[in-house]
Structure 1
Amino acid sequence: MIRVAQATAFIRKCHIGLLALSLLLAACSSPQKAPTGKAKPPHNPNDGRYAHEKDFGPDEEIDLSHVPDAVPRYEVRTIAGNKNPYTVLGKTYHLIKDESAYKERGYASWYGKKFNGYHTSNGELYDMYAMTGAHKTLPIPSYVRVKNLDNGKSVVVRINDRGPFHEGRIIDLSYAAAQRIGIHKTGTGRVEVEIALPNDAPPIPLRAGKAVASSNESALPPGTYLQVGAFAQKTAAKQFAANIGTKLTYPLTIQSAQSPKEIHRVRVGPFTNAKSLQDARDQLARIKIFEAHVVYQ
C-alpha cells in the first residue's frame, strides 16, 4: 500500500510539472502584443503655426539694394529668445557664452513670406524686407557680417530669431539680405559668418551718387514708395486708402493705369531716406499690413 501511494504521488508531481512546462512554452511561443500608443515625435515649435505650408518669395522681383545694413549697437538681451539650453526636433542647443570671436563657414538659406509678419524668437515681427537673420546659438540680438564665398558680396544683419534647423546650414537670412549677397534665387549659398561689433560695421551700400545723411538715414532714389495694395476698381482703392490713411503719418497716393488692364495701386510715400521708409513699415505692421514692397514711381 505504501509503494502504491508513493507511486501515485510521484505521478501527480509529474503531471503538475508537465502542466507548468506546457504553460511556459505556450507563453514563450505566443505573439507579443505591440505597445499601445504611438511614440511622440520630436518637438517642432513651428507645427501648425503658419498659414502656408511651404515658403516662397515676393510675387514679383523687387530691388532691395537700397536697404541699408543693420548697424551693430549694444542692446539689452532679455530672456525672450535666449532660452539656454533649448531643444528642437529632438536636438538640444547651447548658446555661445562669448560670441566676440565667433566666425564660421557653411551654408546660408533664407526665409520669406511664409514667416513674414509672424513673431520671431524674441517676440519681434519678422520682416522679410529688413536686414535680419536667424542663428541657432548666437545670443539674441547679435550682429553678424555674412559674406558670400562665391561672389564676395557681404551684408550685416541683426540676429533676432532661431534657426535654421536643417542639417548643414548655419544661418537663415531675410529675403532682403539674401538678395543683397545673391542667394535669393538659388535658395542657399556658401558663406562666411563673422560677429560684427559696435563701431565695426562697413559703410552702408548706396546707389551711385547718393550721399549718406547718417548711419541710419541713407538717401533713397527719387520717387521711392511702399506699395500696399492694387485694385481693379478705383472705388475699392479709394476705400482702402481711406481706411488706413488715418492710421499712418505718411501720405497715401493712388497710381492708376489703364493698359494692359485697368489697375489702381495704393502707395505710401514718397520716402527720401531708409529711416523714414522703415518707420512707415513699422506703422503698417501695427495695422497688420506686412507685404508692402518698394516701388519707384
Structure 2
Amino acid sequence: MNRLACAVLTSAFLGACATTPGPNDGNDGPGASNGAPGSDRYSLHQDTAPEERRDISQLPEPVPTNEPRSRYGNPQSYSVWGKTYQVLPQAEGYVAEGNASWYGQKFHGHRTSSGESFDMYQFTAAHRSLPLPTYARVTNLDNGKSLVVRVNDRGPFHEDRIIDLSWAAAVRLGIEQAGTGRVRVEAITGQQSQSQEANSTVPTAVRAALDSPPPSQAQSTSGTQTGTVKENEKSASLFLQAGAFSDRVSAQRLQQKLVNQLGVDTQIQHSEGNLFRVWIGPYENQQQRQQVRQTIADAGFDRPMPVSP
C-alpha cells in the first residue's frame, strides 16, 4: 500500500514522523529511531504488508489502563509540512468519524513518536492529536467490526484520514486489502473500561456513547431550542449519552436521526475541550431511562450510556 512521505518535524522531540527522503517517495508514515524519535531513516522506500503474514486472529486486544504520558510526542502543538497541529489536553470524550489507513513493513522496528518501537503485529495506531499513549476503540462503519488499539504514534498527515492503524489492526478490522476504510474512533480511559466491564448491560462491542464525566457547565440545544440547562434541573435529571463529537455538525446529525426515527428529546451539551455531546432525556427514574436505552438499541443505534449532570 502506498502512502505519502512524512516531512521532518520542527521539533526533534515530537517525533511524529521519521526523517524520510521527502514527500514524493509514496509514503506518509509514523515511526522513528536513533536518540529522540524522528531522527532516523527507513530501510524501505515503499510500505508493504509484512512478508511473514502471522495469524493475528487470536491476538488479544489491548486492555485500557491509565498510563502516564510518554516523554516524547506530546507537545502542545507541532508542525508538519507547514501545518500546525494541536495535541489535546486529554483524551476523555473524544469521538470522530472518518477514514483510516494503515502502515506496516516499512516502519516495523522503527521508533514511533512516543519513542517505542513500532510493531506491525500489535494492535496500535497513530493519531494527530490524541495524547500519547491513548487507548481507543476503532469501529469499521462498513462491516461493524470493532477493536481496541493503543495510540502511540503521530499521523496520518492526509486531510482525509483521521487515524493510521498497524497492519494487524487493519487486518482485524477488515481494511487491509482496500487500504483505507470508514471508521469511528472513540477514546477509552482505564476508568471507563472498568466501569463498562462492571455493568453487564453494556456491550463490549461498538459504542457510540462514552461514559465520560459530563461537564459541570454546559450549553444545551433541544430540537430548535437553544439555552442553558439550569443547575437545579440538572441535579435531579437522568440522561443518556448517544455520542460525543469534536464538531457540532456531527453531533447535530446524530441528534436529527434520533429525533426523526424515535422522536426522543435530545440536547447537545457543549463542554470544555470543545466537545459536543448528544444527550437524550431527561428521565425521572432509572427504570424509565433503561427502557428508552433498550428501545434505542433495538432501533439499530449503538447503545447509549447513562449519564447524570
Q: TM-score, normalised by structure 1?
A: 0.52
1:122 to partner: Cα distance: 1.1
Rounded Cα–Cα distance in structure 1 between residues aligned with 2:43 and 2:85? 27
Q: Residue in 2 aligned with 1:71?
A: 63
Rounded Cα–Cα distance in structure 1 between residues aligned with 2:48 and 2:173? 18
Rounded Cα–Cα distance in structure 2 between residues aligned with 1:78 and 1:126? 15
1:79 to partner: Cα distance: 3.4
Choose the corresponding residue for 2:83, options 80, 87, 91: 91
Rounded Cα–Cα distance in structure 2 between residues aligned with 1:186 and 1:61? 17
Choose the corresponding residue for 1:81, options 70, 73, 76: 73
Q: Residue in 1 aligned with 2:20?
A: 47
Aligned residues: 162
Q: Residue in 2 aligned with 1:194?
A: 186
1:62 to partner: Cα distance: 3.3
Choose the corresponding residue for 2:135, options 136, 140, 143: 143
Rounded Cα–Cα distance in structure 1 between residues aligned with 2:70 and 2:50? 32
Contact 1:117 1:126 in 2 (8 A): yes
Amino acid at match of 2:45: E
1:102 aligns with 2:100: no
1:177 aligns with 2:169: yes
Higher relative contact order (CA 8 A, sep 6+): 1
1:101-160 Cα shifts (integer Å, max 9, x gaps) = 100000001000000000000110000001110000000000000000000001000010
Rounded Cα–Cα distance in structure 2 between residues aligned with 1:46 and 1:177? 25
Rounded Cα–Cα distance in structure 2 between residues aligned with 1:139 and 1:60? 31
1:94 to partner: Cα distance: 0.6
Rounded Cα–Cα distance in structure 2 between residues aligned with 1:152 and 1:89? 34
Contact 2:90 2:131 in 1 (8 A): no
1:88-110 Cα shifts (integer Å, max 9, x gaps) = 11111011123211000000010
Instruction: Quote the sequence identity (%).
Output: 51
1:52-102 Cα shifts (integer Å, max 9, x gaps) = 111000225432111111111011113311122111111110111232110
Contact 2:125 2:165 in 1 (8 A): yes
Q: Which runs of 4+ in 1 moved over 6 A?
A: none
SS at match of 2:101: strand
Q: Cα gap change, 1:43/1:127 in structure 2, threshold over 3 Å: closer, same or farther? A: closer
1:174-207 Cα shifts (integer Å, max 9, x gaps) = 111111110011110000000112154488xxxx
Rounded Cα–Cα distance in structure 2 between residues aligned with 1:199 and 1:79? 23
Structure 1 unaligned spans of 5+: 1-41, 204-297
Rounded Cα–Cα distance in structure 2 between residues aligned with 1:79 and 1:148? 31
Q: Residue in 1 aligned with 2:146?
A: 154
1:126 aligns with 2:118: yes
Report the RMSD for the aligned CA atoms in angstroms: 1.7
Contact 1:133 1:157 in 2 (8 A): yes
Rounded Cα–Cα distance in structure 2 between residues aligned with 1:58 and 1:43? 25
Write the mapping of 1:1-297 to structure 2, written as runs, cut at 5 A: 43=8, 45-48=18-21, 49-59=41-51, 61-201=53-193
1:213-255 Cα shifts (integer Å, max 9, x gaps) = xxxxxxxxxxxxxxxxxxxxxxxxxxxxxxxxxxxxxxxxxxx
Amino acid at match of 1:186: A
Q: TM-score, normalised by structure 2?
A: 0.50
Rounded Cα–Cα distance in structure 2 between residues aligned with 1:43 and 1:128? 22
1:251-293 Cα shifts (integer Å, max 9, x gaps) = xxxxxxxxxxxxxxxxxxxxxxxxxxxxxxxxxxxxxxxxxxx
Q: Could you say which structure has the higher helix fraction?
A: 1
The structure with more radius of gyration: 1
SS at match of 1:169: coil
